Amino acid sequence: MRLEPVLMMAGVPCRRPSAGQKLLHALSDYNGIINYNLVQRITLPNPVLILQTIVDKIKNLLQRLNQYPGNIEYEIAIFLKDPNNADVLQAIHGALVGSAIAIVVGTIVEDVITAGVGIADDWACFMLAYKLVRVATVL
């Protein structure tokens, strides 16, 4: 049975002047032998997490659409398929459904208040609400 090497000491600076950017690592092997290795010191900056709000994401999309006006459908498709934009899709979905509900309720209230005088535009309002809900279900 072979055991994996276990890191016993990590980050102990090497005292040799020729190895200024190297670290001395000691690894214990499965049979008790200690192996010493000089490894290159990795000096990468710490990643900084930048949180974007929904408004910032939409602003970035609009800037990209202004930069590439010939690829509007492509840019929007990439934006919608990006898993980092799930919160934007939820907000758009809620806004579309909320708008459709407001249109239907507003149309009915308008018909009640005017005693049916504005009934001629009801079909257009209901069709618009239907299209909004249909787009929201596709998202």
Rounded Cα distance, 52 and 29, in Å = 47
Which amino acid is located at 46 in the chain?
N
Amino acid 127: pLDDT? 94
Q: What is the pLDDT of residues 50-105, one digit of tens each?
A: 667 888 888 888 898 888 888 888 888 888 888 888 888 888 899 999 999 999 99
Which amino acid is located at 39 in the chain?
V
Rounded Cα distance, 132 and 96, in Å = 6
109: left (phi over 0), alpha (psi -120 to 50) or beta: alpha
Q: What is the pLDDT of residues 100-138, one digit of tens each?
A: 999 999 999 998 888 888 788 889 999 999 999 998 888
pLDDT at 39 over 90: no
Rounded Cα distance, 106 and 100, in Å = 10
CA distances from 112 to 51, 86, 102, 115 (A): 47, 39, 15, 5
